[in-house]
Structure 1
Amino acid sequence: MDQIKAISSFVRAVELGSLSAVAREQQSTQPTVSKTIAALEKELGVRLLERSTTSLTPTEQGRRFYERAIRVLEEFQQAVSDARGLTEKPAGLLRVNAPLGLGQLRLNALVLEFLELYPEIEVELILNDRFVDLVEDGVDVALRLAGALPPNVIARKIASSQRYLVAAPSYLQRHPEIRHPANLAAHRYIGFARPANGEVTELSGPGGIIRIAPQHRYQVNSSLAMRESFVLGAGLGLCPSWLVHDLIETGQLRRILPDWSGPGQEASLLYPSRRYQSLRATLFMQFMTERIPQLPGFEALSQRG
């Protein structure tokens, strides 16, 4: 029996909660994975998993073995890396997760540029606006914008994007002039949909910090939809510079109250805390750490005032 493979299958079974999911990840079959883990249980002389038709949970011995097994796998991966030394090549599959809007507007081009630099690396770019479980979904690196970070990950903040109020010229022509944040209450405000009711917007400007609670006539959980709504003159809103920088440059959108801005939106690279980082993942993070602050609408964290 290949003990490392068996231990790896067991660890992923605990993390995914499904033998079928492990089989799909390993491009194997559910019976094969089940036999592998059963052989491990037989060799150890203990039952590691409680199986039923609807669930898969570790036993008490299984939970204790899992905690040590993940460390064994980390040590094994580190030993493999040390043995390879400088002969390791940047090759293989890299699974990356990022927000949909940022991925389509900015990140996609960077990934293609990265692939040109490393022809033997393959990238699977998964774009969505929810926080994924990096371990459960088998993600090597994730790029996240602001918000609370999930547990069991290591985060590296790499850039910031200023947030300011914008609207289309067509909208501004049809509605009262805005001279102060207090005037926003009389306008159509477009915001990012959130689970909580309402949203408090914090603006910093000549008068210090002001907190307002604008009335959202329209909320949407897509930054791309917000961007389009602004262009169509549907309302105004607070958004990060990376999302609308090009539209400001072309005059399709205008900044409102340019002396006022919201808290910056920070970009962070995330990776699983319990997983050894491959050379391809390390190179990808180094590349993005250098290139993302150079994108329009972003700046290096050290440049913030």
Structure 2
Amino acid sequence: MQTFVRAVELGSLSAVAREQHTTQPTVSKIVAALEQDLGVRLLQRSTTHLAPTEQGRRFYERARRVLEEYGEAVADARGSTETPAGLLRVSAPVSIGVLRMNRLVQEFLALYPQIEIELILNDRFVDLVEEGMDVALRLGATLPPNVVARRVAVSPRGLVASVDYLRTHPRIERPEDVLAHNYLRFAWASEHYELHGPDGETVKLSASGRYRINNSLGIRESFLIGSGLGLAPAWLVQDLIDSGELAWVLPQWKASPHEAFLLYPSRRYQPLRTRAFLQFLSERLTQSPGFFAVE
């Protein structure tokens, strides 16, 4: 069962063989024996690809849970339940992963020397069960089904530009003044956006700009070199605002904030390492630049 679970997680019988210090034919025979015992095909194999069948995917989820409970039982018998250990696989969007999560993961590893972490950065929605992820950090209200989602932090969004850009371009005193400027936006974002004022007023604007890019780090760099202004969440730019390189434009006017969620598969039991990581991120994320605690 353990060999099968690792085969699904690593996507390769050869990788399992290397991990277990054995040979690929030996691993293949172990999985084949499990399939024969169950009477179902668990893995689809080709010369270049390995993936669970539908029955294999369902069996993987339960087998993984059984192995985790077994590991916890062993730890309890040995009196070591208070020492989180083992592998955690974590998913996060690319930009926030590079700017914020990477440092937090390193801090967590320093606290728990018996834990290993694979941080997988990907902007697409990840099926936690199918791709063997223990925890995912996601931004926004649209979340994948069949997971537990814990809202842990918020990040305000507003218009931002470099200080040099603002010095050399027409003054912006009200939202309508933005229309005379080059607006930088994400490739997938709508050209229409709303700003909410301090008195509850809402203004709808249309983005007018010649440049779009599908990566937050690219937008961040574009602000820095003075290419224009645009909407940005505080987690993306707060450190540069604190350093005086960027500035909020019309700071009293904000767009809807980013909400940060920690996602994990819905299951009755969680390993101690997962619980420790979720608790750590819940506390530390709100201390990262541009994030605030949920009220």
Same fold (TM over 0.5): yes
Name the TM-score, length of structure 1 as normaliser: 0.79
Distance 1:296 1:51 in 2: 45
Are the equivalent residues in 1 in contact too, given 2:43–2:50 (CA < 8 A)? no
Displacement of 1:293 after TM fit? Answer: 0.7
Distance 1:49 1:83 in 2: 29
Displacement of 1:227 after TM fit? Answer: 1.3
Of 13, 32, 35, the match for 1:23: 13
Q: Which residue does the alignment assign to 1:116?
A: 110
Determine whether 1:284 maps to 2:277: yes
Are the equivalent residues in 2 in contact too, given 1:230–1:253 (CA < 8 A)? yes
Q: Residue by residue, what CA displacement relative to the aligned partner does 1:59-106 show, whole Å, maximum 9, x if unpaired?
A: xxx63x864663354245335424533523322232222233323332
Q: Which residue does the alignment assign to 2:147?
A: 153
Determine whether 1:144 maps to 2:138: yes
Distance 2:32 2:213 in 1: 48
Distance 1:44 1:299 in 2: 50
Determine whether 1:90 maps to 2:80: no
Of 19, 32, 35, the match for 2:29: 35
Percent identical:
50
Distance 2:86 2:125 in 1: 25
Are the equivalent residues in 1 in contact too, given 2:17–2:27 (CA < 8 A)? no
Q: 1:155 to 1:207 in 2, by over 3 A?
A: closer
Q: Which residue does the alignment assign to 1:127?
A: 121
Displacement of 1:173 after TM fit? Answer: 3.0
Q: Residue by residue, what CA displacement relative to the aligned partner does 1:28-59 show, whole Å, maximum 9, x if unpaired?
A: 5664454334323433445566767789674x
Q: Which residue does the alignment assign to 2:195?
A: 203
Displacement of 1:122 after TM fit? Answer: 2.2
Name the TM-score, length of structure 2 as normaliser: 0.82
Q: Which residue does the alignment assign to 2:293?
A: 300
**Which runs of no fewer than 5 residues in structure 1 stay unpaired?**
none
Q: Which residue does the alignment assign to 2:169?
A: 175
Q: Which residue does the alignment assign to 2:62?
A: 71
Q: Which residue does the alignment assign to 1:163?
A: 157
Are the equivalent residues in 1 in contact too, given 2:17–2:24 (CA < 8 A)? no
Q: Which residue does the alignment assign to 1:184?
A: 178
Q: Which residue does the alignment assign to 1:81?
A: 72
Aligned-residue Cα RMSD (Å) equals: 3.1
Distance 2:60 2:118 in 1: 27
Distance 2:59 2:208 in 1: 52
SS at match of 1:217: coil
Moved more, 29-38 or 82-91: 29-38
Distance 1:166 1:47 in 2: 55
Are the equivalent residues in 1 in contact too, given 2:88–2:116 (CA < 8 A)? yes
SS at match of 1:189: coil
Moved more, 221-230 or 89-98: 89-98
Q: Residue by residue, what CA displacement relative to the aligned partner does 1:3-34 show, whole Å, maximum 9, x if unpaired?
A: x3466478x3xxx8xxx924255345664454
SS at match of 1:87: coil
Determine whether 1:247 maps to 2:235: no
Of 227, 234, 249, the match for 1:234: 227
Distance 2:114 2:50 in 1: 39
Displacement of 1:257 after TM fit? Answer: 1.2
Q: Which residue does the alignment assign to 1:193?
A: 187
**Which runs of no fewer than 5 residues in structure 2 stay unpaired?**
none
Are the equivalent residues in 1 in contact too, given 2:161–2:226 (CA < 8 A)? yes
Distance 1:81 1:46 in 2: 29
Are the equivalent residues in 2 in contact too, given 1:41–1:48 (CA < 8 A)? yes
Displacement of 1:243 after TM fit? Answer: 1.6
Distance 2:228 2:108 in 1: 37
Distance 1:243 1:91 in 2: 32
Are the equivalent residues in 2 in contact too, given 1:167–1:254 (CA < 8 A)? yes
Are the equivalent residues in 1 in contact too, given 2:92–2:137 (CA < 8 A)? yes
The count of aligned residue pairs is: 286
Moved more, 114-123 or 257-266: 114-123
Q: 1:25 to 1:274 in 2, by over 3 A?
A: farther
SS at match of 1:270: strand
